[in-house]
Amino acid sequence: MRAQPVAAAPNAVLHPWLRDEVAALLAALPAVSADTASVRATHAFWDVWQAGLATPVVLPEALPPLRALLVWDNLAGHKTPALVDWLVARGVLPLYTPLGGSWLNMAESVQRILARRALDGQLPTSAQEVMDWLAATVRGWNAAPTAFVWGGQRQQRRWRAHQRRHALGGSGAVTHRPVPRRAPRPSAYERLCT
């Protein structure tokens, strides 16, 4: 987890911080070979990305090998030409979550968890105190990170809860308690036979 608590996060603050963090991440990755197959694959990745954009980006002639994917939300500030050009020049493919699809961006979930852990039960007296609590929470997270798994335990719980529902008389309504079924009443013929 890489985070920097700040009082405000305009693009003038976010973009330099992001560039520093992405550069550090790329420096830690192993070197990439530039053989012919990887160059073709790189061009294919960038072409598919380019086709999905509402406003195409002018790509450089010599594309660097694809090094990383950067998933973030669909804000206008994340699409500034200077920032996108900087990412492309370093082989970072920005992927934007669809509008109304912030749940696809795991950073949104992590932000919610960190804010809850840092601020629950607290009464801050200053913005600096809140930033200090958030920084301490990030350090604690990094000391013992929580793994996020798509289709993990939460999905399994939801599936089991879905299985415990009982349909009501063929309608779309359901109940969580089984509806007792009465034994069918014997017909008049069956009553005569007994």
3-state DSSP call for residue 123?
A: coil
pLDDT of residue 50: 79
Side chain identity at residue 47, one-letter code: D
Tell me the Cα Rg of the chain. 27
pLDDT in tens, 100-157: 766 666 777 788 888 899 998 888 899 999 999 999 999 999 999 877 766 777 778 8
Residues 96, 77: Cα–Cα separation, whole Å: 12
3-state DSSP call for residue 7?
A: coil
Query: How confident is the model over 67-77, as a mean pLDDT?
Result: 83
**What tokens were used for 26?**
């790329």
pLDDT of residue 134: 92
pLDDT of residue 23: 95
Domain layout of the chain by residue ranges: 11-143
**What tokens were used for 142?**
């990094």
Q: Pick the closest to residue 90 from 162, 169, 22, 185 (CA basis).
A: 22
| HSE-up (13 A, CA, CB side) for residue 71 | 10
pLDDT in tens, 39-69: 777 778 788 877 777 777 777 777 888 888 8
pLDDT in tens, 157-184: 888 877 777 777 666 677 777 666 677 7
pLDDT in tens, 78-99: 888 889 889 988 989 888 887 7
Q: Are strands 68-72 and 92-96 parallel, antiparallel or unpaired?
A: parallel
Q: Which long-range contacts (CB under 8 A, 24 or more apart) does 110-119 make?
A: 110/1, 110/148, 113/146, 114/1, 114/3, 114/138, 114/141, 117/141
pLDDT of residue 26: 93
